[in-house]
Structure 1
Protein backbone atom coordinates (compact mmCIF):
# COMPACT_ATOMS: atom_id res chain seq x y z
CA UNK A 1 0.00 0.00 0.00
CA UNK A 2 1.45 3.36 -1.04
CA UNK A 3 1.34 6.30 1.29
CA UNK A 4 -0.30 9.49 0.01
CA UNK A 5 1.94 12.53 0.24
CA UNK A 6 0.56 15.54 2.03
CA UNK A 7 -0.05 18.38 -0.43
CA UNK A 8 0.80 21.77 1.12
CA UNK A 9 -2.12 24.19 0.88
CA UNK A 10 -1.98 27.95 1.12
CA UNK A 11 -4.67 30.63 1.30
CA UNK A 12 -4.87 33.32 -1.37
CA UNK A 13 -4.97 36.74 0.32
CA UNK A 14 -7.21 38.13 -2.44
CA UNK A 15 -9.82 35.37 -2.82
CA UNK A 16 -9.45 33.51 0.52
CA UNK A 17 -9.37 30.20 -1.37
CA UNK A 18 -7.23 27.32 -0.16
CA UNK A 19 -5.15 26.00 -3.06
CA UNK A 20 -2.12 23.83 -3.71
CA UNK A 21 1.07 25.74 -2.99
CA UNK A 22 2.21 25.14 -6.60
CA UNK A 23 -0.84 27.04 -7.90
CA UNK A 24 0.14 30.18 -5.99
CA UNK A 25 2.73 32.94 -6.24
CA UNK A 26 4.51 33.99 -3.03
CA UNK A 27 5.22 37.64 -2.41
CA UNK A 28 7.66 38.34 0.42
CA UNK A 29 8.63 41.38 2.51
CA UNK A 30 12.22 41.32 3.75
CA UNK A 31 13.37 42.71 7.09
CA UNK A 32 14.45 45.86 5.25
CA UNK A 33 10.87 46.37 4.04
CA UNK A 34 11.57 45.45 0.40
CA UNK A 35 8.68 43.62 -1.30
CA UNK A 36 9.51 41.11 -4.03
CA UNK A 37 8.18 38.04 -5.82
CA UNK A 38 9.54 34.77 -4.41
CA UNK A 39 9.37 32.10 -7.11
CA UNK A 40 11.42 29.62 -5.06
CA UNK A 41 9.23 29.91 -1.97
CA UNK A 42 12.31 29.95 0.24
CA UNK A 43 13.18 33.62 0.75
CA UNK A 44 13.12 34.73 4.36
CA UNK A 45 10.60 37.31 5.47
CA UNK A 46 6.87 37.73 5.80
CA UNK A 47 5.07 36.06 2.92
CA UNK A 48 1.69 36.29 1.26
CA UNK A 49 0.25 34.03 -1.41
CA UNK A 50 -1.80 35.09 -4.44
CA UNK A 51 -3.47 32.73 -6.91
CA UNK A 52 -2.01 32.50 -10.41
CA UNK A 53 -5.19 34.17 -11.61
CA UNK A 54 -5.49 37.56 -13.30
CA UNK A 55 -8.71 38.44 -11.42
CA UNK A 56 -7.10 37.65 -8.03
CA UNK A 57 -4.09 39.87 -8.80
CA UNK A 58 -6.28 42.73 -10.03
CA UNK A 59 -8.46 42.45 -6.91
CA UNK A 60 -5.34 42.51 -4.69
CA UNK A 61 -4.12 45.62 -6.53
CA UNK A 62 -7.47 47.42 -6.38
CA UNK A 63 -7.96 46.86 -2.64
CA UNK A 64 -4.24 47.03 -1.72
CA UNK A 65 -4.56 43.61 -0.07
CA UNK A 66 -0.86 42.77 -0.43
CA UNK A 67 0.22 46.08 1.06
CA UNK A 68 -2.08 45.58 4.03
CA UNK A 69 -1.07 41.96 4.58
CA UNK A 70 2.67 42.57 4.27
CA UNK A 71 2.49 45.90 6.12
CA UNK A 72 4.61 47.53 3.42
CA UNK A 73 4.27 49.68 0.31
CA UNK A 74 3.73 47.53 -2.79
CA UNK A 75 4.78 49.20 -6.05
CA UNK A 76 2.56 49.12 -9.16
CA UNK A 77 5.54 47.55 -11.00
CA UNK A 78 5.25 44.46 -8.77
CA UNK A 79 1.62 44.00 -9.81
CA UNK A 80 2.62 44.39 -13.48
CA UNK A 81 5.33 41.76 -12.96
CA UNK A 82 2.76 39.41 -11.36
CA UNK A 83 0.39 39.89 -14.30
CA UNK A 84 3.22 39.15 -16.76
CA UNK A 85 4.07 35.95 -14.83
CA UNK A 86 0.43 34.82 -15.00
CA UNK A 87 0.20 35.66 -18.72
CA UNK A 88 3.46 33.80 -19.44
CA UNK A 89 2.21 30.69 -17.65
CA UNK A 90 -1.19 30.85 -19.31
CA UNK A 91 -1.28 28.48 -22.34
CA UNK A 92 -3.76 30.60 -24.35
Structure 2
Protein backbone atom coordinates (compact mmCIF):
# COMPACT_ATOMS: atom_id res chain seq x y z
CA UNK A 1 0.00 0.00 0.00
CA UNK A 2 1.38 3.39 -1.00
CA UNK A 3 1.59 6.25 1.44
CA UNK A 4 -0.12 9.43 0.35
CA UNK A 5 2.17 12.32 -0.51
CA UNK A 6 1.74 15.34 1.77
CA UNK A 7 1.74 18.63 -0.19
CA UNK A 8 4.39 21.03 1.13
CA UNK A 9 4.35 24.82 0.85
CA UNK A 10 6.85 27.51 1.88
CA UNK A 11 5.91 30.13 4.45
CA UNK A 12 6.40 33.66 3.09
CA UNK A 13 7.49 34.83 6.54
CA UNK A 14 10.05 32.35 7.86
CA UNK A 15 10.82 30.55 4.59
CA UNK A 16 10.36 27.05 6.04
CA UNK A 17 8.69 24.27 4.10
CA UNK A 18 5.66 22.93 6.00
CA UNK A 19 2.65 20.75 5.21
CA UNK A 20 -0.01 22.75 3.39
CA UNK A 21 -2.61 22.12 6.12
CA UNK A 22 -0.46 23.83 8.79
CA UNK A 23 -0.28 27.10 6.84
CA UNK A 24 -2.82 29.82 6.14
CA UNK A 25 -3.35 30.91 2.55
CA UNK A 26 -3.38 34.58 1.63
CA UNK A 27 -5.31 34.93 -1.62
CA UNK A 28 -5.72 37.65 -4.25
CA UNK A 29 -9.09 37.14 -5.91
CA UNK A 30 -9.61 37.73 -9.64
CA UNK A 31 -11.24 41.05 -8.66
CA UNK A 32 -8.02 42.08 -6.84
CA UNK A 33 -9.28 41.70 -3.26
CA UNK A 34 -6.74 40.34 -0.74
CA UNK A 35 -7.93 38.14 2.15
CA UNK A 36 -7.03 35.21 4.38
CA UNK A 37 -8.27 31.85 3.15
CA UNK A 38 -8.46 29.51 6.14
CA UNK A 39 -10.18 26.75 4.15
CA UNK A 40 -7.82 26.89 1.15
CA UNK A 41 -10.59 26.76 -1.46
CA UNK A 42 -11.00 30.40 -2.56
CA UNK A 43 -10.21 31.08 -6.21
CA UNK A 44 -7.23 33.25 -7.07
CA UNK A 45 -3.50 33.57 -6.66
CA UNK A 46 -2.25 32.34 -3.30
CA UNK A 47 0.71 32.64 -0.95
CA UNK A 48 1.19 30.87 2.37
CA UNK A 49 2.02 32.08 5.89
CA UNK A 50 2.43 30.19 9.18
CA UNK A 51 -0.44 30.47 11.63
CA UNK A 52 1.35 33.04 13.80
CA UNK A 53 1.67 36.80 13.85
CA UNK A 54 5.49 36.84 13.69
CA UNK A 55 5.59 35.22 10.25
CA UNK A 56 3.00 37.64 8.89
CA UNK A 57 5.02 40.58 10.23
CA UNK A 58 8.23 39.20 8.65
CA UNK A 59 6.47 38.74 5.31
CA UNK A 60 5.07 42.27 5.56
CA UNK A 61 8.44 43.82 6.37
CA UNK A 62 10.22 42.07 3.47
CA UNK A 63 7.22 42.61 1.12
CA UNK A 64 7.22 38.91 0.25
CA UNK A 65 3.43 38.66 -0.02
CA UNK A 66 3.36 41.56 -2.46
CA UNK A 67 5.94 39.81 -4.64
CA UNK A 68 4.11 36.49 -4.48
CA UNK A 69 0.73 37.98 -5.29
CA UNK A 70 2.10 40.48 -7.87
CA UNK A 71 0.26 43.48 -6.42
CA UNK A 72 0.49 46.25 -3.82
CA UNK A 73 -1.11 45.43 -0.48
CA UNK A 74 -2.47 48.43 1.51
CA UNK A 75 -1.74 48.76 5.24
CA UNK A 76 -5.45 48.33 6.08
CA UNK A 77 -5.39 44.86 4.54
CA UNK A 78 -2.31 43.86 6.55
CA UNK A 79 -3.92 45.21 9.74
CA UNK A 80 -7.12 43.23 9.06
CA UNK A 81 -5.09 40.05 8.43
CA UNK A 82 -3.20 40.58 11.71
CA UNK A 83 -6.52 40.96 13.57
CA UNK A 84 -7.87 37.76 11.99
CA UNK A 85 -4.72 35.85 12.99
CA UNK A 86 -4.97 37.16 16.56
CA UNK A 87 -8.57 35.93 16.78
CA UNK A 88 -7.61 32.52 15.43
CA UNK A 89 -4.76 31.92 17.89
Q: TM-score range by the shorter chain?
A: 0.7 to 0.9
Q: Give the CA deviation at 1:33.
A: 1.9
Aligned to 1:44: 43
TM-score by length of 2: 0.80
Q: Give the CA deviation at 1:3.
A: 5.6
For the Cα contact (< 8 Å) 1:9–1:19, is it kept in 2? yes
Equivalent-residue separation in structure 1 for 2:35 and 2:83 (angstroms): 14
TM-score by length of 1: 0.78
1:13 aligns to 2:9 (yes or no):
no
Equivalent-residue separation in structure 2 for 1:36 and 1:75 (angstroms): 12
Task: For residue 57 of structure 2, give the secondary structure of its aligned residue in structure 1.
Answer: helix
For the Cα contact (< 8 Å) 1:12–1:19, is it kept in 2? yes
Q: Which has the larger radius of gyration?
A: 1
Structure 1 residues not aligned, in runs of 5+? none
Task: For residue 48 of structure 2, give the secondary structure of its aligned residue in structure 1.
Answer: strand
1:56 aligns to 2:55 (yes or no):
yes
Q: Judging changes above 3 Å, is the alpha-carbon distance between structure 1 residues 33 and 23 closer, same or farther for their aligned structure 2 residues?
A: same
